[in-house]
Amino acid sequence: MAIGLMKPLTLLLRFSALAERINVAVGKTVAWLTLFMVVVTCVVVVFRYAFSSGWIWMQEMVTWAHGIVFMLAAAYTLSCDEHVRVDIFYRNASPRRKALVDLVGSLLLLLPVCLFLLWSSLDYAAASWSVTEASRQTGGLPGLFLLKSVIPLTALMLALQGVAMAVRSIAILLGSDTHPGKPDTRKRP
């Protein structure tokens, strides 16, 4: 690899490692909401069938938590390479070919979608903030504007992960397959 490219590439790899660490930390944190969803769902079921009562706000808590987990864990899932992929050809490809596919996919598919999602969701979230939107259901949760704010945050986190993937792919294509600080999120037996 050319000496002139080494320093910028090293800085970009450090940035991508930081972005991945942030996404991993957020993903592992919001994963705990799944336990919360199970507990609240059990409480809702017990109250509905054992006591013939229930609360809309409690049911909405499960739905909102599910949305938060789905959106905020998306970048974490991508960083762990656990996203949905049609890998008929990818699975058996060489590391350089995989890097090329990841680079093209990040630049032509992922980043444009993230930018569109960010652009289209900012007004949506801002409108919700302007009226401090709450649930439309009587007895529902206040603060729907906070949940809607997660949409542009998701776009930003996915875009950061896409940039990190692109930088890593460029490093592999240039012959530097090391990525300092890349978190190892795989579980080992």
For residue 113, give both structure tokens: 């979608």
CA 171 to each of CA 15, 20, 38, 92, 163: distance values in angstroms, whole numbers, following the listed order: 13, 16, 42, 20, 12
For residue 157, give both structure tokens: 């986190």
Helix (H, G, I), strand (E, B) or coil at 188: coil
Closest CA to 72 of 143, 146, 156: 156
Extract the residue ranges of the chain whose pLDDT is less than 70.
1-6, 177-189
**What pTM was estimated for this model as a whole?**
0.81
Q: What is the pLDDT of residue 6?
A: 66
Q: What is the pLDDT of residue 87?
A: 73
Amino acid at 128: S
Q: What is the pLDDT of residue 73?
A: 94
Q: What is the pLDDT of residue 184?
A: 45
Beta carbons within 8 Å of 179's beta carbon, 6+ residues apart: 13, 16, 17, 168, 171
Closest CA to 155 of 181, 124, 186: 124
Helix (H, G, I), strand (E, B) or coil at 56: helix
Q: What is the pLDDT of residue 122?
A: 95
pLDDT tens profile 83-101? 777 777 788 888 888 889 8
Q: Given the structure tokens 């938590």, which residue do they identify?
A: 65
Residue 20 phi/psi, 5-degree rounding, is -65, -40
Amino acid at 15: F
Q: How many CB atoms lie within 10 A of CB 96?
A: 13
